[in-house]
Structure 1
């Protein structure tokens, strides 16, 4: 941690830099936007949003949280009646290609296999993959609860698991025509549980790192890159970040065990933390991800640019940029963005954060 503190202090002495003659990708290589995929009914407006709102702001990366909102061919048991088709995805691919936007699908792996009182399709169709089959879903979900249930996880050592997971990854990457895949892997509370006959008693950091490496290696076989959220790689107790934005179950030691070419999406929503320096010192590429507090996003952007300017040549390109996160589907966000729905707090909303952050990004880019 002493290295992190020193590096952070070093970044505070950066002087004024002129960006007007500098290529955008050398200032912020990744200028991203992450959002839940639209329903088929909202697809056309979302495509228009990409064309008319993302592209003019110089967004060059779109992470689309697809999960089960797709009519899978490799595993039709995951299909739902109101999901996007291959033809729908190809429309998104086309508008992204037109605007030179890298399109990346996200499918939550390891954790987030349930939400509130509902188990997601992977564990419904393959209950043998469940890390905690003895934890039953409540009729009414509350937190905290005696089972420590936030979201279910799959057991990374379950026989047959990766055949299914790899099918999903490959199908999504093929239809999205992409060179990257976002596996989520955030907020993993259930891992290496004592009662699990496969992974119980094993080192939680090694289990987490093993799953990261397994997914990364599969993607690398076809020249694709793994992206994940970074919270499980931070020590929640030492940093004071706690159990949500960091790990309190010892997975944080996996930061020294995972491949260095995994892209880390570092999200912090309640403080503009300086953790990108930590990830970069560990040899990992890092993107900072705000949510709904514009002032924090502005500070995180300033930090990211200053980190890049202050860094040694070996460190500079590990600071990859910024990505606005949206934790709703596309329709809900666009309702707020276009004024059809008023947020509870107009000064602290996702759409306002997006507008403010990208205004500052384009000032930095000299646009």
Structure 2
């Protein structure tokens, strides 16, 4: 396979993808060796969530989780190619999906921010409850003892210098259903949760990465409910530590919001998904911003990270031109992205 020549000087040329299933680990390692490294990928965010054989909290293992041996195969491949490997466990939001409760709230229902709102047998959006995904209560006195056990263990096994906490699309926060949070300021609560996670990581010199959508005013910008905030969490941008790394995802247009984050003092990474033109425009935008930035702003434009939201098996097959997956739009976008980054 011929190596693709890099066209930019980005610090981050990344891929965010679900951790592979146990039976796909060896194929995923081959993908790293034969496809990702030659394409210039230097950062790999793996969405692990509860798919690891946690020893500290075995009750939070999902079915057929990755073992330490499985993870070390991936760690070894990434080290071989100098790829920065960062694990992700969704914190705060995304504690349910459609009609399925996530493992944390299944095992610890007392952490639910909205205990009286039940998941429907058939999920639809919009709905009367404003239900997209459940959140845990950031002010529950016991929640951080549990989630930080997961965070510490997953960072250690992945031998990582950073942790991705997700924290995107948090619709349930300061909810009237929560006896601790009702009446609170969503921005203060969101910023407080970011601070708790960031400060916990900083004790061991680890960095926090999060998605940026909750820090964008979705109404004023017109970016909307998903890629921006309608529930006033956006004011937290002025309340959180500047060493939090922002993953600024936009999937329909190459919105110029990296300027917002960089001007506030954050390192920022633009993140596309399934539209090649958007991805290539994001590369051009970050390049333009770096080239025209002040000395202070220039290093904050870190680069670009592709996001893949189907299973790792689909990505593996798509990258290997397996018929059933080769036309996946996100795979096609990634293939176009690596030609220009």
TM over 0.5: yes
Kept after mapping to 2: 8 A contact 1:343/1:349 = no
Task: Give CA-to-partner distance per residue, 1:174-224, whole Å, 9 cap, x none.
Answer: 000000000000000000002311011010000000000110000000000
Kept after mapping to 2: 8 A contact 1:150/1:189 = yes
C-alpha displacement of 1:26? 8.2
1:360: which partner in 2? Answer: 340
1:62 equivalent in alignment to 2:47 = no
In the alignment, the residues of structure 1 paired with residue 324 and residue 63 of structure 2 have an alpha-carbon distance, to the nearest angstrom, of 30
Q: What SS does the corresponding residue of 1:139 show, helix, strand or coil?
A: coil
Q: What SS does the corresponding residue of 1:301 show, helix, strand or coil?
A: helix
1:152: which partner in 2? Answer: 134
2:237: which partner in 1? Answer: 255
Task: Give CA-to-partner distance per residue, 1:65-87, whole Å, 9 cap, x none.
Answer: 00111111000001233110011
Q: What SS does the corresponding residue of 2:308 show, helix, strand or coil?
A: strand
Work out which of the residue numbers 331, 334, 340 in structure 2 matches 1:351: 331
C-alpha displacement of 1:340? 2.5
Kept after mapping to 1: 8 A contact 2:51/2:63 = no
RMSD across aligned positions (CA): 1.5
1:304: which partner in 2? Answer: 286
Work out which of the residue numbers 128, 134, 137 in structure 1 matches 2:116: 134
In the alignment, the residues of structure 1 paired with residue 125 and residue 62 of structure 2 have an alpha-carbon distance, to the nearest angstrom, of 29
1:235 equivalent in alignment to 2:217 = yes
C-alpha displacement of 1:308? 0.8
Q: What SS does the corresponding residue of 2:310 show, helix, strand or coil?
A: strand
Work out which of the residue numbers 286, 311, 318 in structure 1 matches 2:300: 318
2:193: which partner in 1? Answer: 211
In the alignment, the residues of structure 2 paired with residue 286 and residue 41 of structure 1 have an alpha-carbon distance, to the nearest angstrom, of 34
In the alignment, the residues of structure 1 paired with residue 220 and residue 248 of structure 2 have an alpha-carbon distance, to the nearest angstrom, of 17
Q: Which has the higher helix share?
A: 1
In the alignment, the residues of structure 2 paired with residue 301 and residue 243 of structure 1 have an alpha-carbon distance, to the nearest angstrom, of 24
Q: What SS does the corresponding residue of 1:128 show, helix, strand or coil?
A: helix
Q: What SS does the corresponding residue of 2:37 show, helix, strand or coil?
A: helix
Kept after mapping to 1: 8 A contact 2:13/2:304 = yes
Kept after mapping to 1: 8 A contact 2:8/2:287 = no
Kept after mapping to 1: 8 A contact 2:35/2:319 = no
